[in-house]
Structure 1
Amino acid sequence: MSTPGSSIADFLAMLAAERGAARNTILAYGRDLEQAQEMIGGQLDVASPAQLARLGQGWSSLAPSTLARKISALRQYFGFLVDEGLREDDPTHTLPRPATRRPLPKILSHAEVEMLFATVEDEASGDSPAAVRLLTLLEMLYGSGLRATELVSLPVSAVPRDVPFLTVTGKGGQARMVPVSQRAGKALQRWLALRPGDSPWLFPSRNGHISRVRLFQLLKDLAVRADLPPEKISPHVLRHAFATHLLEGGADLRALQTLLGHADISTTQIYTHVDAERLVRLVNERHPLARRRSSD
C-alpha cells in the first residue's frame, strides 16, 4: 500500500513498467505532479476538486501544449489512484479541457531533398569518411524515417546482413524492424568499410556515439552547402519528409504507423493533411458510386 507522498513515485513506476513510457515523459510527468503538489500546499493524492480547479487557474497563462501535458498527467495520476483503490473519487472534472492542435509538420519538397542528396553525393564521391558518414546518415533519416536518437545510438549489431531490415529500439524501449532501402544499404556498406576503430556503435565518437546535437549541426551545415535555409533542415524534418512522401506515393497509413514506430495511429494521421488532394481524388475516382455515375 502506498504511504503518504509515495503515490507519485508508484504512478511513475507504473508508467515505466506497464505502459513503456519514455524516460522524458516520465520525468516531465514527475515534475508536473510535484509542482502541483507544491501549489496546493499538501499531499496531491488527497487534493479536493476545488484545489484542482485553482491549479487550472494558476496554469492559465501557460502555452496550450504545456497546459495539456500537465492536465494529462493529473488525470492519469488520479485515474491510477482510483484503479489502485487509493481513492474513491476522481476530482479532475474541475480541471480545464484545453483545446490543443498538434502542430503541422514542416515539409520538404522533393526538389529540396534532391538538393541535399546531390550535394552530399558529390562530396562523398571519393573516400572521405566524414562525407560517406553524412551520406549514410541522410539516407537512413530520409529512407527509413528514423528518429535522431534512434539513428545516432544504432549499434553495429543492428546492421542487416542478409535481410534488408534494421532492428531499432524506439520510444519506451519498444523494438521494431525498419526496412533499409538499396541506396541506404550501399551507403551503409561504404561507411562500414571506412568506419574507424572497434566501437560497438555504428556512428562512433570519442565518447561513445555521435550526439543528437552533432547530427543537427551536420545537417545544418549541409543545408548551407546545398543553398537551402539551414533553419528548415533537421533530423525530424527529414523524418516528416519520409512519411509525407511515402503517403504521396500511396502508402497505407497503418504501414506508415509501423514504420514510424507510433504507438497510436492518431499521431500518424497528422501526415494526412499534406495528401488531402490525393485522398479526395481517390474517393472521386475509386468509390463504387463514382464509377456508377460514370457508367450512367
Structure 2
Amino acid sequence: MSTDARGTDLFLEMLAAERAAAPNTLAAYTADLTSCEESLASRGESLLHASATGLADWMADMGRSGQARRTVARRLSCIKQFYLFLLREGLRADNPAAHLDAPRPEASLPHFLSESEVVALIEACAVSPEASEAKRRRGLVARAALELLYASGLRISELLSLPREALAGERQMLVVRGKGGRERLVPLSDSAREVAQALLALDAQKASPYLFPGRDPKRALTRQAFDKILYEVGLQAGLDPARLSPHVLRHSFATHLLAHGADLRALQILLGHADIATTQIYTHVQTERLKQAVESFHPLSSENVRQGEKTA
C-alpha cells in the first residue's frame, strides 16, 4: 500500500470510528479526496506531499469547471480536515491547506410545497379497493412514508431505517437515530401512526425488521425505490415530479411549522440540527410574515393608502 493510500485509509477509518460517519458520508469524503489527488497528480504532486500552491490550483480548477460554490466549500472542508489529521498523526509537519479560503456560499432558500400541495400529494396515495394487492400495498407504503416525512420532518435515511418496533403499541413519539448516531425524539401524529400501523399489519408475514421493507424483507426499502413511488404519486397529484423529493417534504415540514408560529429552537430539535445556524435558513418564512404584517396593518403601507384614497 502506498503512503498516500495509507494516509487516506487512516483518515476514513477515523471518521467512521470517532465520528460515526455514515457510509454515504464516507463515500462523499472519498470522492473529495480523489478529486484533489487527481488534480495534484497532474502537477506532479501527491496528497501526502501536496503544496499550498498545488491545493490552490485544485480549487481554481474547480471554479473554472463551473462547480457549485457549495460543492467547492464542502470539498475544501474535507481537505482541511484531512491535513489537520495528518498533522496530528505526525504524517506531515505542516498544514498546506491552512490558508485556503472557501468561496462564499450561494444564498439559496429551501424549496417547499404549499400546505394544499402536501394534502394533494397525500390524498393521491389513495388506491381503489378493487386494485390488486400489490397496488394497494404500494399506496399504503406511499401514504405512510409521506405522512411520516411531513409530520415529523425526518430525513429519508432516517425514515427508511426505522425498525418495526419504532411504532409498537400506542407510542406518541418516535426515537430517531440521525446524523453522527445522535438520537432525538420526534412527535408522531395520530394519522401517521394509524397508516403506519396499517402497513405493519399488512406486512406482518414478511417478518422484516424494518417498517419499510424492500423486496428482500431482510433489507430496508431503498432510496431509489422510494423515489419511484414519490414520482408516481406526484403525477397522480398533478404536481411536477421535478419539484418533489424527500428533502422538499422536510423543508415543507419546517416551513409550515414556522409559518404557524413554531419556535426556532424547537424546530432545531425536531430536525436534529447540531447547530441552530442550519435551522435559521427557514426564517425566510418569518421575514415574509413580517412583510405581510407591515403591508396589511401599517397606516402608510401601499395597501392602506389605496384603501384611504377609495374612501376619500
What's the TM-score once normalised by structure 1's chain length? Answer: 0.83
Aligned in 2, Cα 1:158/1:125: closer, same or farther, shift over 3 Å? farther
Q: Deviations 1:251-296 (Å, cap 9, x if unpaired)?
A: 222221221122332222221113313357899xxxxxxxxxxxxx
Distance in 2, matches of 1:206 and 1:118, equals: 25
Asked if structure 1 preserves the Cα contact closer than 8 Å seen for 2:72 and 2:102, the reply is: no
Distance of aligned partners of 1:79 and 1:229 in 2 relative to their CA distance in 1, 3 Å threshold: same
Residue 272 (structure 1) aligned to one of 264, 279, 283: 283
Paired AA for residue 11 in structure 1:
F
Amino acid at match of 1:201: Y
- The Cα offsets for residues 47-101 of structure 1, whole Å up to 9 and x where unpaired, read as 2222222222332224122222221111111222333344343222453531122
- Given that 2:127 and 2:139 are in contact with CA atoms closer than 8 Å, whether structure 1 keeps it comes out as no
Does 1:118 pair with 2:126?
A: no
RMSD (Å) for aligned C-alpha atoms: 2.8
Report the equivalent of 2:10: 10
Number of the residue aligned with 1:83: 88
* Alignment partner of 1:60 is 2:63: yes
- Structure 2 unaligned blocks of 5 or more: 295-312
Counterpart residue identity of residue 212, structure 2: F
Q: Pick which of 51-60 and 233-242 moved more.
A: 51-60
Cα distance 1:8–1:222, how it changes in 2: closer, same or farther (>3 A)?
Answer: same
The Cα offsets for residues 215-266 of structure 1, whole Å up to 9 and x where unpaired, read as 1222221122222222222222111111111111222222212211223322
Displacement of 1:157 in angstroms is: 1.6
Distance change (3 Å), C-alpha of 1:253 and 1:282: farther
Q: Which moved more, 1:12-21 or 1:85-94?
A: 85-94
Aligned partners of 1:30 and 1:7: how far apart in 2? 12
Aligned position for 1:36: 36
The residue correspondences of 1:159-178 to structure 2 (distance < 5 A) are 159-178=167-186
Native 8 Å contact 2:167 2:197 kept in 1:
no
The structural deviation recorded for 1:131 is: 2.7
Query: Which of 236, 239, 244 is the matching residue for 1:233?
Result: 244
> 1:263, 1:187 → 2: CA distance?
30
Q: Give the 5 Å matches for 1:145-294.
A: 145-197=153-205, 198-207=207-216, 208-278=219-289
Q: Which runs of 5+ in 1 are unaligned?
A: 284-296
Structure 1 range deviating more: 237-246 or 37-46: 37-46
2:48 matched residue in structure 1: 45
In structure 2, distance between residues paired with 1:28 and 1:227: 34
How many angstroms apart in 2 are the aligned matches of 1:13 and 1:65? 25
Larger deviation: 103-112 or 30-39? 30-39
Pair 1:4–1:255, CA change in 2 (3 A): same
Residue type of the alignment partner of 1:183 = S
Q: Which string of whole-angstrom CA distances, capped at 9 and with x for unpartnered residues, describes residues 3-27 of structure 1? A: 9322222222222222233322222
Match of 2:97? 92
Give the total of aligned pairs. 281
Query: Does the 8 Å CA contact 1:53/1:94 hold for their aligned counterparts?
Result: no
